[in-house]
Structure 1
Amino acid sequence: MTTLRIEHAITDYPTWKAAFDRFAAARRQAGVRRHQIHRPVDDPRFVLIDLDFATPEEADLFRTFLRTTVWASPDNSPALVGAPIARILETTEESAEEFAQPGQPLADHLR
């Protein structure tokens, strides 16, 4: 799995999210298999987006589309502040961890 990680500041989340949603068909056509949107709990004016692709080539083509078509036009990218950072990531390890039950001290899991 290859992930295109996008990080950028925004002025207004609802405006940004509406623009993001308008490109859903473009994401599907480009081969996006899954997306996640993250926001720092201490900074509501910043978003991190993970777009998962089958190959690095698909991710790179979509990054080019974003740079030339979406981010190059204020009409296509309202609420965007500055230039986004877009990196193509390769997953080298993944696991699902067992989580502590609510109320159970973390120390019980470290023994």
Structure 2
Amino acid sequence: MTATLHIEHPVRDFDAWKRVFDSFHDFRVEHDVRSVRVGRKVDAASHVAIDLVFDSQDAAAAFHRVLQEQVWSRQQATDLLAGGPSAVIHNLVEDTTNSP
């Protein structure tokens, strides 16, 4: 069963944040992230939502701990984020795709 680590946080400059986020691609792969989705609130473009998909809840929880200890505590993160991140883990219950 897959699990999703859903993260939301405001950023000071989306383009600068996205460049740094993209530079962590290999880091995410090394920590077993299977897929990534990045979105922005429609009415608040400086608010980012990220979904990181893992093979298990344990893998998602382990990566969340890594983010807290090794990434979000860095000065670079403090400079880019306009507020603290919030995160929650969801287990996949259903996955359907509607095709036209």
Distance apart, 1:79 and its partner CA: 1.5
Judging changes above 3 Å, is the alpha-carbon distance between structure 1 residues 77 and 51 closer, same or farther for their aligned structure 2 residues?
farther
Q: Which amino acid aligns with 2:23?
A: R
Higher-Rg member (1/2): 1
Segment drifting more, 10-19 vs 68-77 = 68-77
Equivalent-residue separation in structure 2 for 1:37 and 1:85 (angstroms):
15
Measured after TM superposition, the shift of residue 82 of structure 1 is 1.7
| Residue aligned with 1:7, SS | strand
- With the length of structure 1 as denominator, give the TM-score of the two structures: 0.82
Q: Write out aligned runs for 1:35-74 (5 A).
A: 35-74=36-75
Give the residue type in structure 1 aligned to 2:47: F
The aligned amino acid for 1:21 is D
Greater than 3 Å deviation, 4+ residue runs = none
Q: Larger RCO: Structure 1 or Structure 2 (Cα < 8 Å, ≥ 6 residues apart)?
A: 2
Provide the rounded CA distance (Å) in 2 between the counterparts of 1:65 and 1:54.
Answer: 17
**Is there any run of 5+ residues in structure 1 with no aligned partner, and where?**
100-111
Change (3 A) 1:29 1:77: farther
Q: What RMSD, in angstroms, separates the aligned Cα atoms of the two structures?
A: 1.3
Q: Does 1:7 align with 2:8?
A: yes
What runs of 5+ residues in structure 2 fail to find an aligned partner? Answer: none
TM-score (norm 2): 0.91
Q: Deviations over 1:8-47 (max 9, x none)?
A: 0111101111111121111000001100001112111100
| C-alpha distance in 1 between matches for 2:62 and 2:27 | 12
* Sequence identity percentage: 33
Partner Cα separation in structure 2 for residue 65 and residue 77 of structure 1? 16
Contact 1:19 1:76 in 2 (8 A): no
Separation in structure 2 between the aligned mates of residue 77 and residue 83 of structure 1, nearest angstrom: 9
Q: Size of the alignment, in residue pairs?
A: 99
Provide Cα deviations, 1:50-102, integer angstroms capped at 9, x if missing partner.
00000111111110111111111122454212210111111112222355xxx
